[in-house]
Amino acid sequence: MKNNQIKTLFATALTCASVMAHAGALSVTETTVLTAPPAKVWAQIGNFASLGWHPAVEKTEMASGEAGHAGAVRHITLKGGGLIVEEQTAQGEHSMSYKILESPLPVTGYASDLKVEADGDNTKVTWSSTFDAKEGVSDADAKGAIAGVYTGGFEALGKTFGTPAK
Q: Confirm whether 80 is domain-assigned.
A: yes
Report the pLDDT value the prediction gives residue 14, as an integer from 0 to 100.
35
Is the Cβ–Cβ distance between 65 and 49 less than 8 Å?
no
Q: Confirm whether 57 is domain-assigned.
A: yes
Q: Confirm whether 34 is domain-assigned.
A: yes
The per-residue pLDDT for range 69-127, each reduced to its tens digit, is: 999 999 999 999 999 999 999 999 999 999 999 999 999 999 999 999 999 999 999 99
Q: Confirm whether 4 is domain-assigned.
A: no
Range of the domain at 143: 24-161
In this structure, the number of other CB atoms found within 10 A of the CB of residue 127 comes to 21
B/e letters for 19-53, b = 16+ CB within 10 Å, e = fewer, are eeeeebebebebebbbebebeebbebbbebebbee
Report the pLDDT value the prediction gives residue 35, as an integer from 0 to 100.
97
Cα 45 from chain centroid? 11
- The number of distinct structural domains making up the chain is 1
Mean pLDDT, the chain, as a whole number? 89
**CATH number of the domain enclosing 81:** 3.30.530.20
Q: Confirm whether 78 is domain-assigned.
A: yes
Q: Confirm whether 6 is domain-assigned.
A: no
Q: Confirm whether 121 is domain-assigned.
A: yes
The per-residue pLDDT for range 11-59, each reduced to its tens digit, is: 333 333 333 444 689 999 999 999 999 999 999 999 999 999 999 999 9
Q: Confirm whether 137 is domain-assigned.
A: yes
